[in-house]
Amino acid sequence: MTMSNDDNTSVTPSEPGSPSPAPEPGSPSPAPEPGSPSPENRRGWRSNATVLALVVAVTGTVVASVVTPLGDRLMKVILDEPTCPGEACDGKNPKNQGCAEDAKSFKPETGNPAMLSLRYSKDCQAVWAKIERGNPGDQVQAKAAGHGERNAEITYDDDQFTQMVAVGDGEFQVTACAIPQAGRGSKYEHYCIQASEATAWR
């Protein structure tokens, strides 16, 4: 069916359901629907998402490094200033200061019922004493000639160690003693062991 408009131009209506005519070459692209992102915006969002993912990954790595044992030890060292070596180690916990990492021991294999030992850290220039088979109330002592003395008591279980005694980087003589609590029927009597910088530390 053909219809006429006001300027007598004939127009043939399209059939219902028929496809819209293709745009002529050179005609502008249809404007995007309101609210839909442009291709440029979509590329920007993807770029921002990539950056955010990288930031999260880096942050996770940093947090993981802090909660590792090494990070934990570093935090303890910071909170327990001044740090070792030398005189700054005197009276400090060898584990918290990291001195136990390079430490070597002198522990006699015979005549040592309390498994008493001396520990020496060359890096920290300090010694401490340790007891492994004591009883609550027993004491362990570390004494360095001309330097100082440290004592510790077993509060539970059967082992304990003293704080450090600084000995410097030269010659030294140290003594460790296991002191049972009186009246508790200990399996050993008060005894001591001795060592020096020339001892075969292992």
Ranking 79-88, 95-104, 147-156 by mean pLDDT, the lowest is 79-88
Where do the DSSP E strands lie in 5-103? 10-11
pLDDT (0 to 100) of residue 50? 63
Is the pLDDT reported for residue 60 higher than 60? no
Of residues 186 and 125, the one with the higher pLDDT is 125
- Domains of the chain (ranges plus CATH)? 86-196 (2.20.130)
Question: What DSSP element (H or E) covers 119?
Answer: strand 116-121
Q: Roughly what angle, to the nearest 10 degrees, separates helices 39-66 and 69-79?
A: 70
Determine if the pTM surpasses 0.85.
no
What CA–CA distances, in Å, run from 91 to 75, 84, 114, 127, 143?
19, 11, 23, 10, 12
